[in-house]
Structure 1
Amino acid sequence: MKKTKIIGLTGGIASGKSSVAEFLRARSFPVFDADKAAHELMSKDSGAWQDIIDEFGKGILTNSEEIDRQKLGQIVFAEPERLKKLEAILHHRIWQAFENFCTEQRAQQAKIVFLDAPLLIEAGWHERVDSVWLVYLSREEQIRRAMQRDKVQAVVIEQRLDKQMPFDKKKLVADRIIDNSFTLEQTYAQVESLINELQVAI
């Protein structure tokens, strides 16, 4: 049986990556959401919960002893070294969950599986997938769309962007670039073209 193709899907703040992921799901492709997996790993019933509390203390807990992701986020975005420690706790667990997902999809004869991960490149996962698809947007448009979506000032978005790998560096790693500067219909047309290209190759 031919090997299942693993496609890494990544982007940046308000780039439209989630819209592309939803489009792929609507086309019945299996898509693993790394962010959702990270949130699940932070739940009280997960194996990562205690490791996170040991590292960051009980001050990040809610009254129901769940991790307050907003409090945790404030800590790690202010201290890059703490962010690295959180990633060390989560990333290998997320990848294991993805491998389990792939095993399930292979059992269902899936020919293509997508890994939707904003930190795909930062985590080094781009080296483990067959191809990297980058959803691109200019910084100016990222800021405009993120302000509209999150109802925050430009300076807040700029601070977030400054802590992320810039698109110029991500482009050097990407195998395919999806330009989301125009309408969603035009973005979806690009994705459809990439799907057709991929299906021909397999």
Structure 2
Amino acid sequence: MNQNSYVIGIIGGAGTGKTYMSKYLVEHLNAMFIEGDQIAHELLRDKGMIHSISEKFGDDIVENGEINRSKLGKIVFADKQSLMALNEIMHGTMFKMIEEKIRRSDHKYIILEAAVMIEAGFSKLVHGMVCLKAHKDIRLERLISSRSIDLKTAENILKSQRNDYEDYADYIFDTTEGIESIKDDLEKMMNEIREAEYEKNN
């Protein structure tokens, strides 16, 4: 692992604005962005992974040689055991892929955003953790809009996720009113991160 990069983790439930926050920090800290969801997408195109997942969840979820993420999502977000089984198949490989990206990076800062940060142990790779939260109704609205899903599916996604993210955080922000409403607090946090990075590497 690259000992010089300062890795900032972004956690929180679906619809709290993790990707938006990540991009904001990437821009203002000139950081590298590692997106857990993108890593998962790459992995779902791997032939060995497709075989392992279809073996567990059935050939119906494979279309044109690829995993149908919508079908898979409906299965795992409606049933906790199925979600745990999928996580068991994917998390170890995802961890190695993320660890390698960090090792190869020449950026001073890295933003790591992953819905499964805690469950998959990605938090071991992080120096500082930022947690986002927002009102449930706002989160549902954001999910329905951004993912083009119905209310029931959005509710299942929220139910499938843990509710103790704040316990793992160094910083907690409420994004119900949007990022604009917390910009002063973000500036303060970024200054503290710059100081922490300097102390770490000097």
TM-score of the superposed pair, with normalisation by structure 2:
0.84
Structure 1 unpaired stretches of 5+: none
- CA separation of 1:143 and 1:196: change in aligned 2, threshold 3 A: same
Secondary structure, counterpart of 2:188 in structure 1? helix
- CA separation of 1:155 and 1:71: change in aligned 2, threshold 3 A: closer
Amino acid at match of 1:8: G
Paired residue for 2:120?
123
Amino acid at match of 1:198: I
Paired residue for 1:174?
169
Which of 171, 175, 187 is the equivalent residue of 1:192?
Answer: 187
Secondary structure, counterpart of 1:78 in structure 2? coil
Distance in 2 separating the partners of 1:200 and 1:46 = 44
Is the CA contact 1:10–1:132 (under 8 Å) kept in the aligned structure 2? yes
Secondary structure, counterpart of 2:42 in structure 1? helix
Structure 2 unpaired stretches of 5+: none
- Larger mean CA deviation between 115-124 and 154-163 belongs to 154-163
Amino acid at match of 1:5: Y
- CA separation of 1:181 and 1:76: change in aligned 2, threshold 3 A: closer
Paired residue for 2:95?
95
Distance in 2 separating the partners of 1:152 and 1:73 = 11
Paired residue for 1:26?
27
Distance in 1 separating the partners of 2:145 and 2:110 = 32
Shift of 1:176: 0.6
Secondary structure, counterpart of 2:14 in structure 1? coil
1:137-189 deviations in Å (ceiling 9; x for gaps): 122322233344455554443332111112xx111221111221224323444
Paired residue for 2:8?
7
